[in-house]
Structure 1
Amino acid sequence: MAGLSLYFEDGHDDLDDFGFDDYGSECDGIRITAFLDAGQDNLTPLGRLEKYAFSENVFNRQIVARGLLDVLREFSDNENDFISVMETVARMSEDGEPTVRAELMEQVPNIAMFLHENRPNFPEAFSRYLVPIVVRYLTDPNNQVRKTSQAALLVLLEQGLMSKADMEGRVCPVLLELTEPSSDDDYKIEAVAIMCKLVTMLTKDTVEHLLLLRFCELCSDVRLFQVRKVCAANFGEFCSIVGQEATEKLLMPKFFDLCSDSLWGIRKACAECFMVVSNCTSPEVRRTKLSPLFINLISDQSRWVRQAAFQSLGRFISTFANPSITGLNFCEDGTLHEIPKISSDHRHKVTTSNSSNSRNSFIDGSPDSLIQPRSEQLQSTSDLTGPPSHHPEGNSSTQPKEDGISLGQPKHSAPLSRQDEPHLDDPDVQAQVKVLSAALKAAQLESQREDADESFPNSHSLLSQNVIPQQLLDQYLSMTDPARAQTVDTEIAKHCAFSLPGVALTLGRQNWHCLKDTYETLATDVQWKVRRTLAFSIHELAVILGDQLTAADLVPIFNCFLKDLDEVRIGVLKHLYDFLKLLHADKRREYLYQLQEFMVTDNSRNWRFRYELAEQLILIIELYSHNDVYDYLRQIALNLCSDKVSEVRWISYKLVVEILQKLYACEAHDLGLNFINELIMRFCHCSKWVGRQAFAFICQAIVEEDCMPMDQFALHLLPSLLSLSSDPVPNVRVLVAKALRQSVLEKRSAYSDELEEALSELRMDKDRDVQFFSTMDPNRNVMDTSALI
């Protein structure tokens, strides 16, 4: 409230009763509700609230509005008083000063949450008193009040505070009224925007019964292009909510009109949401109607429309993905998994039992009977095709996320039919597809191929495929053409790289030949951001292609990325384990010789590179034999333990522990003992205290992780650890105390007497932290903190 005293005019004495010494500061501990305290007016707190809530001084009324939540808390113990306060709030909402109304509306979400938490006491208060205010302010003549009300409404919905009855009975009717043809332009544009934001928070029934038809009308608003633009930008959300039937019956005609709108910004918005719309349609509509429509956008006269279309091309292609073709499922955790193959005997039984019904459905023209249940549908591969790009109109390029593909956020998916996919002889295709007429299918595919050839004569030069319309693939492959960068987008190659894993998944490994040349072109692109994108996604592409294609086509590119700039190498490094585990053991072993190269970076201050290496090595240990781990990874780990950056050293100590655990798990005791002696010489006898501290930490971690038999620990490590109990540096003794205490808890040490003696001395240490970590009750396995008092 700094500076609010400037609003006061001479002669106003009302605020004297607030008890404020300084009106200009809220940071000094002043309560906003101080006006409720007893003053010289002999009024009750409710009377004082009434006085200031309707004071002639605007600032008084603003203060009351700003402190309403605290006021409610003070009166929440008495139901009658609480109702009186809510009645006061309702009357305040009619204040003639816009700033007061705006202040009040800003408090509504907080008040609503308070009422929700105290719902048993005030079950109807929110619906009775606050909802009418929110709804009325949606039509307030003041722009600031309307905006505040719209923002509050969104918060209430996001928090689940508004009931379905209030939404359908109060909010939606107001939005419908404001979007009438005769409504004021400003009100109408605002109402359309808020309607589109609300749709994702409403139920399907509410959207279909109350808002869908009005939305369709608004898509055709001839007079206000702003309305059509808002509708186009949010078209995908409506499709996702209402589903396939309503999308194809009611929304698709409107989408076609918007895609051919005279305003390029509207066509651009359609291109940006094309993938979401496609996911809400059947494969037939996607192939026969949406594909030609998208081709129109990708060849639009406006560069900005073409740019948006090319950026969305890969995501649109990904909607054609079918697990029966790809052999892979995109899971909710963001990973790809192969679909288990059906044995020939089981496939025959399933085919026999289902063949008659499936064949009849196909002949009758009812393909829906073969559509997969929604629980089995492929999650959208849009996350493999890069993030959606949005940029202001007029910008020459967009800035998508540089770290490659984004996994773990599956989008909406549409049912994927098996009348529309080829490769009937593929063993991964589900059994039900086999009942279809092969001849009819072949004729259908041949017809589609001929149509594609007529539209794009150059398609004869490709190895053909039938998973997606050929013209879409042709356009995608052209994204590496330098001419596209000049006429469409200077960063179009990067968008192509973002999309490639999703496109590869859609086509399936049997059609990798269609993308191989494009991938190699991108992998040698002069822009390091393009190569970086591929480096971050090469492990996912390896899953899609399988071990044979990975070894033949990806390993050479992977090797090139290993020698690239640090900005590219980090993409490989972050998923090094994920890639190596997909290789055969002999091919994987070749990389042992190259792991040391990750220690060298373009910039020695890039410590996060070395930190990432240590984290990956912890995972990679399981992929190699104990001899390989000892011969190759041990020395890297020891070098990382001597890093100048503490974060790198600490993660490297954990790596050392994992190596030791590997050696003892494989019963390589001789190698384990050699490694232990090396640790003692390097760390326990180190002249620098950080080395001795590291040894104590490693010993503690060994005991906690149970990396080796306790008798072996007591024999080979404990004597050296005990020697550090009198180290001159407190930071070393603290970790020694932790390690020794952990050793005592194991109760298997042959050195229990020496342990107890060392801990006794540490409990009397002059450093309080050392005392704390050495003081404990062994019988209860908890620390005794009484000694610290």
Structure 2
Amino acid sequence: MKKLKIRQFGIGTIMKYRPVVSSDSKYIFTIGDGCVYVWIVKTGECLRLINHNSNSNDQQIILAQSINPNNQLQLCVAQQNGIINVWDYEDGILIHTIKVEFEIIDLYSIVNSGLYIFGKNVKNVYSLYRIESIRHKSSPIILFDKLPCLPKSISFDKKLMTRLTQYISSDLVLKYFVPTIVQQSSSIAFQTRKTCATSIGDLVTVIPPSAVDQYLVPCLSNLCSDPFWGVRKSCAEVIHPVGQVCSKESRWNILSPCLIQLLQDQSRWVKTAALRVLGYFISTFAQSNIDKQTDINNNKNDLSIKIEESTKINENDQFNDFNYWREPVITNIDFDKDFILNSNQSSTTTCKESIVEISKISNEDDINNILPIELLDFYTSLIEQSHSSGVETDIVHQGAHTFPAVALTLTNKNWHRIRDLHKKFSEDLQFVNESFDQLYELTELFSSVDVGDYISPLGFGMAVDKVADVRHAAIKALSGCYSKFNCEKAQVQTEVFLDDCHRVFASSQDWKLRQVYIYLCKSIYKLNVDRPDQYALRFIGKLLSLKEDPVVNVRLSLGTFIYQYLVNNEFYIGLSDDWRTQIDECLQILLVDRDRDVRASVGGIYQPRQTDLSSEYSNDHSDSSIQNNTITLGDQ
């Protein structure tokens, strides 16, 4: 028996015909030597040969193979003479044979749908056929050819086209599928037009961008003005994937006006679909902006080189003909040092002015050069637009989810344009966690200076909110800001951040904010961005000062954090003796705390209450806000 040995020496295919894997992944079928090899995956051995004829003169060339969609234990093998043999590959038995009157190019099977055949007739017309049931040997039914198809056929086979595109080359898709979609997009049946609009989103991923601009973008633009609202809704749903592939000119001049039109559509369903993809579509302008920035930097670098070359004239080579004839050409030469110096300064000024002109022409931070301003206007009014749509949807959630991508697209210079929108996201309790998760991710996209100027103030503002969930969500964003400052060694921003933490939280008269300081220290500790001594110097001093806080909840949070995270681990070992001594003293104080829950939080024995609950609390001179419940964290 032959054994399956496959060795790949480079990128590319190692066989002419694609192999097929059985539904249970036990066998692999390969075509070679006029037959099909059945390989056992587990052992690598060849189980048998099927469709093999011992008479070499009668041996037919095998073109394709596919699993029978009606029976996963059968293999369909297509021959050059138009015959399809159906085999039981485990027993090597020929079940039956199907004869077709056209040349077979390839086979595809889809479960619960049928066997599909690409073929070419005697008139060299390529067509797609479907055999509904091999079991009953039904005749092939033509689905796609050069003739217009019935609307029912197009609608039925939309999923088929989507699945087949991953198996067919882009040339075949461009040659047969794209013209059909473009042609049927003008059908009188709205179901067909709707299906064509949906299929555009699938086809753009497999054909070249130039073909997308030439065929599919104009087709989508026409469908966006369709009189039937269902077609326009389908266009809104696929405009984002099309925008990812097409050129910047098509995205700006064709798709953007189409999306703006859909955002103002009279149908609330169309408008809702357009609002849902708005943030995603805006993010498609980010890559073009990055490319533009690269070009600008390259131009500036070229000009800088020219400046250096024009100013570095060797004094010993002032009268060299080569330097004399270099641009700018110097006329009326008076070879004295003063004139040469003035000429060099004039040349440098001219080149610097050129840089300024390029910067003015292609200012990457100008919002009008980044994306159509109308799209940003709709995005910044996203919450109001969602309320006016009259439909309960996830529009605001989608907006919060795409916020970092939109911020990256606009660049940090335009943060002020979406800052108020982020505040609105954070004020919506339904999406507050999503909003601050995105704010945390934004810290990775901006420099430490921008994070300190824009993101950190937002976090501090929401960390003093009256709602506990909002405060806890803001803590994650603030810890991300600190991590950014620490990683980039931004000393100024770090000092400002620490000063605000100590002033706003640790020294606050509000016990809830003092508790926020403990939670913030724990969040920063988990990021592991500080050395033990550095962390102690910046945070532990203020933390330990809360060991005798009048509010039980603060002491309880402090004891839990210290006992679970700061002792008996590598962090504790890495501290200096002085810090370890202070932490031990704090634990000793909390172990004899007057509140039993605080004592239990640091490893003390939890003793049952011996006195009446009200009498115990009457002796506790703590904050009145905790008289009803001493062990509940936050402000529940």
Secondary structure of the residue aligned to 2:266 is: coil
Report what 2:112 is aligned to: 149
- Distance in 2, matches of 1:274 and 1:352, equals 47
- The match for 2:10 is none
| Cα distance change, pair 530–280 in 1 and its aligned pair in 2 (3 A) | same
For the pair 1:473 / 2:376, whether they are aligned, the reply is: yes
Distance 1:673 1:601, change over 3 A: closer
Task: Quote how far apart the aligned CAs of 1:575 are.
Answer: 4.7
The separation in 1 between residues aligned to 2:118 and 2:521, in whole angstroms, is: 55
Partner of 2:580: 672
Distance across 2 between alignment mates of 1:673 and 1:694: 18
Is 1:204 aligned with 2:165? no
Q: Distance in 1 between matches of 2:99 and 2:583?
A: 73
Matched with 1:215 is 181
Q: 1:277 aligns with which of 235, 242, 250?
A: 242
Hey, what's the Cα distance between the residues in 2 that align with 1:67 and 1:664? 54
Q: Hey, which of these two has a bigger chunk of helix by percent?
A: 1
Match for 2:283 among 293, 301, 318?
318
| Cα offset, 1:190, TM superposition | 2.5
The alignment status of 1:173 with 2:128, answered yes or no, reads: yes
Partners of 2:178 and 2:544 lie apart in 1 by 64
Give the corresponding residue for 2:457.
556
Q: Which of residues 428, 435, 441 is equivalent to 1:540?
A: 441
1:267 is aligned to 232
Q: Deviation of residue 503 (structure 1)?
A: 2.4
Q: Please give the per-residue CA displacement for 1:554-596, whole angstroms capped at 9, x wherever unaligned.
A: 3332123224434444543445432222342113313367778
Q: Does structure 1 retain, via aligned residues, the 8 Å contact 2:483–2:527?
A: no
Matches within 5 A, 1:353-432: none
Alpha-carbon distance change, 276 to 67 in structure 1, aligned in 2, over 3 angstroms: closer
| Corresponding residue of 1:291 | 256
Distance 1:189 1:325, change over 3 A: closer
CA contact (8 A) 1:621 1:629 kept: no
Measure the CA separation in 2 of the matches of 1:341 and 1:484: 40
Distance 1:656 1:68 in 2: 51
The answer to whether the aligner puts 1:514 opposite 2:417 as a matched pair is: yes
Matched residue, 1:631: 541
Aligned equivalents of 2:93 and 2:265: distance in 1? 52
Residue aligned with 1:321, SS = helix
Any idea what the Cα deviations from partners look like across 1:202-249, whole Å, max 9, x if unmatched? 4434433443323333433333x3333233223223112213101011
Show CA shifts across 1:631-663 (max 9, x none). 3567999x99x999xxx98x98773369x5346
Q: 8 Å contact 2:448–2:484 — kept in the other structure?
A: yes
1:500 CA displacement:
3.2
Residue 305 (structure 2) pairs with residue 349 (structure 1): yes
Counterpart secondary structure, 2:286: coil
SS at match of 1:174: strand
Counterpart CA distance in 2 for 1:230 and 1:129 is 42
2:329 corresponds in structure 1 to none
SS at match of 1:536: helix
Change (3 A) 1:69 1:643: farther
Aligned residue among 526, 529, 537 for 1:618: 526
Tell me the SS of whatever aligns to 1:221. Answer: coil
The residue aligned with 2:214 is: 249
Secondary structure of residue in 1 paired with 2:479: helix
Q: Report the AA paired with residue 656 of structure 1.
A: L
Distance 1:470 1:435, change over 3 A: same
CA distance in 2, matches of 1:474, 1:514: 9
The alignment status of 1:586 with 2:495, answered yes or no, reads yes
1:237-283: per-residue Cα shift (whole Å, max 9, x none)?
Answer: 31122131010111122112221222211211111221211121211
In structure 2, distance between residues paired with 1:135 and 1:682: 88
Q: Deviations over 1:352-388 (max 9, x none)?
A: 99xxxxxxxxxxxxxxxxxxxxxxxxxxxxxxxxxxx
- In 2 relative to 1, CA 253–67 (structure 1 residues): closer, same or farther, beyond 3 Å? closer
Q: Secondary structure at the match of 2:207?
A: helix
1:111/1:516 CA distance change after superposition, 3 Å: same
Q: Over residues 433-473 of structure 1, what are the superposed CA-to-partner deviations in whole Å (9 max), with x where a residue is unaligned?
A: x899859x85x99xxxxxxxxxxxxxxxxx96432112222
Residues 90-143 of structure 1, C-alpha deviations (whole Å, 9 max, x = no match): xxxxxxxxxxxxx984662x878xxxxxxxxxx9969x999999999xxxxxxx
Residue 513 of structure 1 aligns to a residue whose secondary structure is helix
Separation in 2, partners of 1:477, 1:107 = 55
Q: SS at the partner of 1:622?
A: coil
Going from structure 1 to structure 2, the CA distance change for 1:324 and 1:260 (only over 3 Å counts) comes to: closer
- State the match for 2:194 in structure 1: 229
SS at match of 2:276: helix
CA contact (8 A) 1:168 1:206 kept: no
Q: 2:430 aligns with which of 529, 534, 537?
A: 529
Q: Does 1:189 align with 2:155?
A: yes
AA of the residue aligned to 1:177: I
Q: Equivalent residues in 2 for 1:28-43 (5 A)?
A: none
SS of 1:572 mapped into structure 2: helix
Shift of 1:485: 1.8
Matched with 1:770 is none
Aligned-pair RMSD on alpha carbons?
Answer: 6.0
Alpha-carbon contact 1:508-1:544 (below 8 Å) kept = no
In the other structure, the counterpart of 2:12 is none
Aligned partners of 1:244 and 1:282 also within 8 Å: yes
- Alignment match, 1:363: none
Counterpart Cα distance in 2 of 1:111 and 1:578: 57
In the TM superposition, 1:438-453 aligns within 5 A as 438=358, 442=361
What whole-Å deviation, never above 9, does each CA across 1:383-428 have from its counterpart, x for those lacking one? xxxxxxxxxxxxxxxxxxxxxxxxxxxxxxxxxxxxxxxxxxxxxx
Gaps of 5+ in 1: 1-65, 87-102, 113-122, 137-145, 154-165, 330-338, 354-430, 446-462, 605-609, 696-789
Q: Mapping of 1:78-97 within 5 angstroms?
A: none
Query: How much does 1:543 deviate?
Result: 4.4
CA deviation after TM superposition for structure 1 residue 537, in Å: 1.3
CA spacing shift, 1:575–1:67, aligned 2, 3 Å: closer
Task: Give, in whole Å, the separation in 2 of the partners of 1:130 and 1:656.
Answer: 73
| Contact 2:462/2:471 (8 A) holds in 1 | yes
State the number of aligned residues: 449
1:122-179 residue CA offsets vs partner (Å, 9 max, x unmatched): x9969x999999999xxxxxxxxx98434x98xxxxxxxxxxxx98669983269314
Query: Which letter does structure 1 place at the counterpart of 2:525?
Result: L
Letter in 2 for 1:221: S
Give the distance between the partners of 2:244 and 2:411, measured in 1 at CA. Answer: 19
What's the secondary structure of 1:177's corresponding residue? strand
Q: What's the TM-score, normalizing by structure 1? A: 0.45
Preserved contact between residue 259 and residue 274 of structure 2 (Cα < 8 Å):
yes
TM-score by length of 2: 0.54
Change (3 A) 1:203 1:617: farther
CA distance in 2, matches of 1:320, 1:465: 12
> Is the Cα–Cα contact under 8 Å of residues 460 and 474 in structure 2 kept in the other structure?
no
CA distance in 2, matches of 1:132, 1:681: 87
Pair 342,192 (structure 1): closer, same or farther in 2 beyond 3 Å: closer
Q: Is the 8 A contact 1:465 1:511 kept in 2?
A: no
Greater RCO, 1 or 2 (C-alpha within 8 Å, sep 6+): 1
- Provide the rounded CA distance (Å) in 2 between the counterparts of 1:131 and 1:261: 50
CA–CA distance in 2 between the matches of 1:438 and 1:679?
64
Residue 494 of structure 1: how far off its partner (Å): 4.6
Counterpart position of 1:409: none
